């Protein structure tokens, strides 16, 4: 046990040890500061560029989606004389002449491939080339002219089917990727943004609700995939706007949205005719100028341009120049969305349609029928306006 006389001496010894430890630590810190390599501070610009580079790296989305995108082509044997006509010499033996048609997207692992109907229409010998190099003969399993969609089938298993996202959640400005086989150069990926949603009135098909994008789409991209940054399918690339019929891409491409795809795909897979409701009038998008010319109380909506004779609309006394306000209590504002609403009505079902006729608001009860083939119930096209 320490005596009272020894305590001051012990305290001085401990203080001396503490002072020496502090001195050695400070000296070590000074030596490190003088001789250690300098660690530069993070450059804010470099950090921003790193983040931007990561945001512009689409490789993960491509890795997920690209294996599901295929090349569609046709081939047939030609005689030696015909071979010479197309510019090749096969020593007099019949050979195979191949022609690229477009692109397609694998939608099931058992061999179902979705594409545009216009890609495969009229071609009896259809073949599919997968991204891994395998080639299969395809059978046209089902088609829907109304939406320009078709389903091919190949005899293969465990194919990489694409995931389908909900296009109703898309926003203008969102980054998207287009994957296909333009000009038969091989699978190609282009990037862009969603330029607009709900484009319609072009007369390309009867149920237009296009996604507009500036991702480059060219000949051969038709039927290919428009995907989000998760690699999920949001649309089937279908058409471009090309002035003066130059067929060159100018930054305006259109894709059929997945909301239409998911509505049609079950029917195509069942190999049955797509059944849609039918009311029997031709709608036209109502503009503010047209509403003023007709002295209407509304400035937007859907105008009845024509009523088809003997149709449910005719039997319910729907008339030309009526304005459709509601269908079964749901407001109507766009002609293309009205057609989609009518298509979802089951044939034989009753539906209440609220209309504006002159100064009166009326409600008509219609009994929907099945949409006939070649129906005139489609959006009336507005003549384009040209500046002199």
Closest CA to 114 of 157, 63, 69: 69
The DSSP secondary structure of 65-79, one letter per residue, reads HGGGEEEEEEEEEE-
Are 178 and 140 in contact by the 8 Å Cβ rule? The answer is no
Q: Which of 68, 118, 238, 258 is catalytic?
A: 118
CB atoms under 10 Å from CB of 130, counted, come to 20
Can 148 be counted among the known catalytic residues? yes
Q: Which of 112, 144, 148, 214 is catalytic?
A: 148
144 token code pair: 């829907």
Polymer length in residues for the chain: 388
State the alpha helices, DSSP H only, in the chain.
7-35, 44-55, 59-65, 80-85, 117-120, 258-269, 288-293, 312-315, 335-343
Tell me how far apart the alpha carbons of residues 109 and 101 are, in angstroms, rounded to a whole number: 23
Are 235 and 255 in contact by the 8 Å Cβ rule? The answer is yes
376 token code pair: 């005139």
Closest CA to 116 of 271, 283, 277, 268: 268
161 token code pair: 């089917």
Tell me how far apart the alpha carbons of residues 2 and 213 are, in angstroms, rounded to a whole number: 88
Are 138 and 150 in contact by the 8 Å Cβ rule? The answer is no
Q: Which of 68, 103, 195, 222 is catalytic?
A: 222
Closest CA to 372 of 352, 349, 343: 343
Can 9 be counted among the known catalytic residues? no
CB atoms under 10 Å from CB of 245, counted, come to 6
User: What positions carry a catalytic annotation?
Assistant: 118, 148, 222
């Amino acid at each position: 046990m320490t005596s009272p006389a020894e305590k001051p001496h012990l305290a001085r010894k401990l203080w001396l040890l503490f002072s020496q430890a502090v001195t050695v630590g400070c000296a070590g810190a000074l030596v490190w500061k003088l001789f250690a390599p300098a660690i530069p501070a993070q450059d804010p610009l470099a950090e921003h560029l790193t983040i931007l580079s990561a945001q512009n790296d689409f490789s993960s989305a491509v890795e997920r989606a690209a294996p599901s995108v295929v090349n569609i082509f046709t081939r047939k044997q030609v005689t030696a004389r015909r071979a010479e006509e197309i510019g090749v010499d096969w020593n007099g033996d019949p050979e195979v002449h191949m022609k690229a048609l477009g692109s397609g997207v694998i939608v099931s692992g058992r061999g179902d491939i979705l594409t545009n109907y216009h890609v495969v229409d009229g071609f009896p010998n259809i073949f599919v080339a997968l991204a891994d190099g395998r080639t299969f003969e395809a059978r046209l399993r089902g088609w829907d002219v109304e939406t320009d969609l078709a389903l091919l089938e190949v005899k293969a298993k465990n194919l990489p089917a694409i995931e389908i996202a909900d296009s109703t959640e898309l926003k203008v400005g969102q980054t998207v990727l287009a994957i296909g086989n333009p000009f038969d150069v091989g699978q190609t990926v282009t990037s862009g943004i969603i330029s607009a949603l709900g484009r319609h009135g072009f007369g390309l098909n009867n149920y237009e609700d296009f996604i507009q994008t500036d991702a480059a789409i060219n000949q051969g991209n038709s039927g290919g995939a428009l995907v989000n940054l998760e690699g999920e399918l949001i649309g089937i690339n279908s058409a471009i706007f090309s002035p003066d019929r130059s067929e060159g891409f100018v930054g305006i491409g259109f894709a059929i949205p997945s909301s239409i795809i998911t509505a049609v795909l079950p029917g195509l897979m069942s190999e049955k005719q797509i059944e849609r409701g039918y009311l029997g009038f031709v709608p036209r998008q109502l503009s503010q100028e047209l509403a003023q010319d007709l002295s209407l109380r509304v400035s937007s909506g859907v105008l009845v341009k024509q009523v088809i004779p003997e149709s449910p609309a005719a039997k319910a006394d729907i008339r030309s120049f009526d304005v459709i306000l509601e269908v079964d209590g749901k407001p109507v504002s766009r002609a293309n969305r009205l057609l989609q609403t009518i298509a979802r009505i089951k044939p034989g079902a009753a539906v209440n349609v609220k209309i504006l006729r002159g100064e009166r608001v009326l409600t008509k009860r219609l009994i929907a029928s099945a949409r006939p083939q070649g129906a005139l119930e489609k959006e009336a096209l507005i003549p384009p306006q040209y500046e002199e």
